[in-house]
C-alpha cells in the first residue's frame, strides 16, 4: 500500500454508499404501510388492461391465482401514466397498494 490515505478515502466512500443504499431500500420497503393508513391493502400481479379518462386512469390487474381486479387511479394515486403503461407493455410484476371504497370499487394509492 503506497497510498494509505487514498485507500482509506475510497473505503470510506464505499462504506457510506453501501450503507446509504441499505437505508434507502429498507425505507422503500416499509414506506407504503406507514405513509398510508392501516386500511391500505396490498396485491401484486400483472397489469393486463389500462385506460385513461378525464378523472384519472384505471387499470385491470391479474393476480397470480388468475383473479382480475379493477383499480381506479385518481387523487391521491402516486403513479404516473407512463409508469403504469410501461408495466403493461413489459408484463412486469406490479405491486398495488389500494383502499376499498363503497360499492366495491378499488382506489389505487400507489403503483410500483
Note the pTM of the prediction, 2 decimals: 0.67
Q: Of 17, 44, 47, nearest to 32 (Cα)?
A: 44
Strands 105-111 and 56-63: unpaired
Phi-psi region of 51 (alpha: psi -120 to 50; beta: other; left: phi over 0): beta
Predicted confidence (pLDDT) per residue in 52-107, tens digit: 888 788 999 999 999 999 999 877 677 888 889 999 999 999 999 888 888 888 98
Q: What is the pLDDT of residues 18-53, one digit of tens each?
A: 999 998 888 777 665 556 666 788 899 999 999 988
C-alpha gyration radius of the chain? 20
Distances in Å between the alpha carbon of 88 and those of 11, 13, 49? 41, 38, 7
Amino acid at each position: 500500500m503506497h497510498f494509505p490515505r487514498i485507500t482509506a478515502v475510497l473505503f470510506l466512500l464505499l462504506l457510506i454508499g453501501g450503507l446509504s443504499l441499505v437505508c434507502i431500500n429498507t425505507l422503500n420497503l416499509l414506506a407504503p404501510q406507514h405513509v398510508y393508513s392501516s386500511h391500505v391493502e396490498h396485491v401484486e400481479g400483472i397489469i393486463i388492461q389500462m385506460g385513461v379518462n378525464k378523472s384519472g386512469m384505471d387499470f385491470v390487474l391479474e393476480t397470480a391465482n388468475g383473479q382480475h381486479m379493477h383499480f381506479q387511479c385518481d387523487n391521491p394515486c402516486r403513479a404516473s401514466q407512463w409508469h403504469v403503461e410501461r408495466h403493461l407493455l413489459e408484463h412486469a410484476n406490479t405491486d398495488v397498494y389500494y383502499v376499498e371504497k363503497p360499492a366495491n370499487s378499488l382506489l389505487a394509492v400507489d403503483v410500483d
